[in-house]
Amino acid sequence: MVPAAPIKPINFNITPEDAFNLLSNVICKYTAVMDNVAQQTRPTYQNTIVPIAECTNVSTSFWVVSFLKDVTDDERLRKACTRADKRFTEFIIESNMRTDVYKAVRSVYDDHNQLAALSPTERRLVERIERHYRRRGLLISGEKRAVFENAKKRLAEIEAEYIEAGESESARISFSLEELEGMPEEYLCRLQVVAEDGAERYAIKTRGDDNLNAMTFVKSESARKKLYVASGKKCMEDMAWLKEAVELRLQVANALGYQSYAEYVFEERAAGSADLVISMAGDIRKQITSSVKEQMGQLEAAKRADMEAAGEPYSGFFEWDYYYYLGADDSADESGFYADIQAYYPMVEVVLGLLDVYERILGLTIVAAKNGNTWADDVDILEVWEVSECKFVGHLYLDLYHRPGKNECHGTRGIRPSHMRANGELQHPAVALVHAYPKPTSAKPALLHHSDVSEIMSMLGTAFLHLCTSVAWVDLSSPGFDFMSTPGDVLRHWLREPSVVGQIGVHYQTGEPVPEAMLKAVGKSNPNTDRSLRLREIASIMYDIAIHSTTDGSIDVLQIFRDIFEDMGCLLGGEEGVFNMPFLPHLIGGYNVGLYTYLWSDILSHDMYFSRFAKEGLYNRRTGKDFRREILQPGGSRDAMESIRMFLGREPNSNAFLKANGFLF
């Protein structure tokens, strides 16, 4: 039994008026503190840096409003929260541009004697806050400042224009049900149904998940080609936005004194520089390139056999064939494992099983909250406690089902971060897992794919990063954009263990455990598929870094794409002059110099899992404690690479990743 939690769950019974009152209170407190900082005649750590950091802590009380705009099904409240959040964002942007405040911060930053007297964490806080203002252009003036601000403004416009264009009618192409033969019902039912010439048809966007699903499952080559060509032509049009965005980003970086935009970005990343990323990606490329040609030959042979069986002439293997035959090859090699095991993955039982796994790894106890309200009836509230000390850690919310009015974006959302209040009391964190899985019916529970279970496992890892981080200041809570998902990726490796899958899986009808034959398939992957997709991923990473490492104010983004992808053997035949880039939305929509983070996190997570947990025991208490102390607890209070070194006892490397994926023997 655990005692009553020292803090109640967040009160989500708020009105539109409450949202604006909270906004007003935060703005008033924030402004008063910043005005006081700006008036300091002798800025110090205590009268300048600490108040600014406390402002950030206090402002997080507004996070609940920002969160509700994405999850509430109350339309009036959602609109109010959206308006309030927009005003809050505008206010923060305005506050971040206060040169009088930055002048005081810079005075402390430039006082080397004062910095020398601070602790390492205090110095890091000074550096983090100074960098926060400097990167917004407050150290520059005149023409450079004008170039910087105009470029930032236009970049925001480009992102908005691109998103709007993706929702236009011209960004959709319709198909008959017959043309979409082979597409699973669970994906088909997500498509927009439209009427054309009195017939019912299904609209697929020229970019996004539905597009990829169609390219993977639709049997008709003509339908796949139709979708690919339409998507490719739209992509070619969108390249104008990418070119302009890349050139504007270089202007932003140059105005701030950086040689390239990549240099500007990596200043805040755990990786530190593009060189380390390119080196690790290059190591993997060397190991897999030679075998990709063999795999592509196998895929081509599969298509040739299909054509012969249908009595049709073979005309070649094209881009619109790649994902379809890759999916067929993957399904054959996995012997139906991923399809069959879905019956053993009912949502409720799986989530309970995964929480039990986390309890054992991290030394926690997770129980249902005894009271509290939520934003929807199907949301669960959990309390997280320390096992050894019976100490309360925080609240975990689970909002996993589709709901009208709910934003379909999924992931881990911080609602209340951990930090020390001004009175010295600990603010316990609250975090939510948000997804949109289909709801259970009276006849059948919500059943998960193996990839869904893996995704939930990873999201839980990120949730426990939020819950277990222990820092005084919210400004030091984030370990970095390219490290946020790494803890979850480490813990996702438990799903490669048959014993773990056996623990969480149970047949939704019979209650029987996962069969031994299925358990033997756990953790196995199709090395051919991994090699092919990895090579394309590496090509995308190289492209992302290449266009953002340029010092040329005018570049040909399409030619660079062709050069890199052709050099790496990742361009197949197709429609002349038409190329489709599934990753383009990332590069235009704010994930620039970010494509590497998936592979980067995968490499680091393999190293940490196989070097410690796999060797020392999945539930080894010492290893779990080390993981919490060195990886989760520090947050952003020190460099993420230092946290990894402390956990591993050495520099990280890609050996475990290469071996586990069959790339190194």
Q: Which of 22-26, 333-337, 486-490, 596-600 comes out lowest in average pLDDT?
A: 333-337
Per the listing, tokens 């049900």 go with 177
For residue 335, what pLDDT is reported? 45
Backbone angles phi, psi at 8, to 5 degrees: -75, 155
Backbone angles phi, psi at 73, to 5 degrees: -100, 5
Regarding whether 181 and 49 lie in a shared domain, the answer is: no
For residue 143, pLDDT over 50 is answered with yes
Q: Diameter of the chain by CA atoms?
A: 86
Q: Give me the domain span that covers residue 86.
A: 16-139
Residue 364, domain member (yes or no): yes
For residue 334, what pLDDT is reported? 46
What CA–CA distances, in Å, run from 380 to 148, 371, 377, 484, 499?
Answer: 45, 11, 8, 24, 27
Residue 655, domain member (yes or no): no
DSSP category for residue 150: H
For residue 338, what pLDDT is reported? 64
Q: How far apart are CA 361 and CA 620, in angstroms?
A: 7
Q: Which of 51-55, 430-434, 589-593 comes out lowest in average pLDDT?
A: 589-593
Full-model pTM: 0.90
Q: Which of 164-168, 532-536, 640-644 comes out lowest in average pLDDT?
A: 164-168
Q: Whose CA is closest to 588, among 235, 158, 231, 154? A: 158
For residue 380, what pLDDT is reported? 97
**Would you state the structure tokens that stand for residue 661, as one six-digit string?**
């994926």
For residue 333, what pLDDT is reported? 47
Residue 571, domain member (yes or no): yes
Tens of pLDDT, residue by residue over 206-246, are 888 889 999 999 999 999 999 999 999 999 999 999 999 99
For residue 146, what pLDDT is reported? 95
How many residues are present in the chain? 665
Backbone angles phi, psi at 176, to 5 degrees: -80, 165
For residue 330, what pLDDT is reported? 59
Regarding whether 170 and 133 lie in a shared domain, the answer is: no
Q: Which long-range contacts (CB under 8 A, 24 or more apart) does 370-374 make?
A: 370/4, 370/5, 371/8, 371/9, 372/8, 372/9, 372/10, 373/9, 373/11, 373/12, 373/13, 374/12, 374/399
Burial class (CB in 10 A: 0-12, 13-18, 19+), 597: buried
Reported in sequence order, the residue ranges of 85-125 that DSSP labels E, i.e. its strands, are none
Regarding whether 184 and 112 lie in a shared domain, the answer is: no
What number is the average pLDDT over the span 441-468?
A: 94
Tens of pLDDT, residue by residue over 518-556, are 888 876 655 555 688 899 999 999 999 999 999 988 899
Q: How far apart are CA 392 and CA 346, in angstroms?
A: 29
Mean pLDDT of the chain: 92
Regarding whether 167 and 264 lie in a shared domain, the answer is: yes
Regarding whether 224 and 185 lie in a shared domain, the answer is: yes
Residue 556, domain member (yes or no): yes
Neighbours of 140 (CB within 10 A): 17
Above pLDDT 90, what percent of the chain?
76
For residue 264, pLDDT over 90 is answered with yes
What number is the average pLDDT over the span 472-479?
A: 95
Q: How far apart are CA 536 and CA 532, in angstroms?
A: 7
What CA–CA distances, in Å, run from 44 to 98, 123, 133, 524?
Answer: 18, 12, 17, 57
What number is the average pLDDT over the span 368-377?
A: 93
CATH number of the CATH domain containing 476: 3.40.390.10
78 three-class SS: helix
Could you tell me which residues are beta bridge partners of residue 196? 199
Tens of pLDDT, residue by residue over 555-592, are 999 999 999 999 998 988 888 888 888 889 899 988 89
What number is the average pLDDT over the span 48-60?
A: 96
Residue 647, domain member (yes or no): no
What number is the average pLDDT over the span 636-659?
A: 95
> CB of 217 within 8 A of CB of 187?
yes
- Count: domains in the chain: 3
Tens of pLDDT, residue by residue over 77-93, are 999 999 999 999 999 99
Regarding whether 484 and 423 lie in a shared domain, the answer is: yes
> CB of 364 within 8 A of CB of 358?
yes
For residue 374, pLDDT over 50 is answered with yes
